[in-house]
Amino acid sequence: MFLNPSYDDHGYWELRVDDPRVFPDRTGLIALVENWRIRFPTLRKWRVVSAVRAWDKSLIVFANAAVPPNEFDDSVFVAQAGDFTANDNPDDSERHPRVPIQNTFTPPGGPFMGQQLVGPLGGVYLSEYSMHYLGMFMLSSLVRYRPQAWVHAVTRSATADCPADDQALALLEEFMRIHSEIIPGLVATELNP
């Protein structure tokens, strides 16, 4: 869950991760955070500002603030009744440099083995490029097996039985725009890493 908890600091963002595993102590929390950072490397750019055990799970809050080298030290990440909080919470102090949100996440279809936070599909984490491939496969199937639906969407034609579908056209145009920006870079990277 993303949120901007500050009314006057629009550059500060938090990302809350709910983990079904409950951390027993600081060492367990560090292991959970490291597991999340391995799965989603972009989280290495996000500082852990709090960790709470609630509702039979761990709630870990990351902030787009510079990660100090001693992020989990006792003096920096303070234990309070079994939960943890950064003693110098970046939300309360603008002296902590913010990492611009656009520098913490790549755009859709970012670098190969990207940094998106995409949920698993059937327990498998798919690359955004796999999603592009699936999207193009579905569109090509639509063009081949249901050409009337394709023509209706892209020409904005309307009949009494079938009104114009502007939403489908906007979605198609945006997908094709993103696809044409991303896939050539993937091909070039794969050919010349």
Q: Are strands 14-19 and 2-3 parallel, antiparallel or unpaired?
A: antiparallel
What gap in Å lies between CA 77 and CA 84, rounded to an integer?
A: 6
C-alpha dist (Å) from residue 34 to 39, 152, 176: 9, 49, 36
For 117-165, the pLDDT digits (tens) are 666 677 776 777 788 888 899 989 988 998 887 887 788 777 777 777 6
pLDDT for res 122: 75
Phi, psi values for residue 76, rounded to 5°: -100, -40
Contact 49, 85 (CB under 8 A): yes
122 phi-psi bin (left φ>0, alpha ψ -120 to 50, beta other): left
- One-letter amino acid for residue 88 of the chain: D
Predicted pLDDT of residue 115 = 43
Buried residues in 10-39 as b, exposed as e (16+ CB within 10 A): eebbbbebebeeebeeeeebbebbeebbee
Rounded to the nearest integer, the mean pLDDT of the chain is: 78
Distances (CA, A) of 191 to 115, 180, 188: 21, 17, 5
**Interval 71-123: pLDDT, tens:** 888 887 888 888 888 877 666 556 666 776 666 665 444 443 344 566 667 77
User: pTM for this one?
Assistant: 0.57
Residue type at position 119? G
Q: Which amino acid is at 82?
A: G
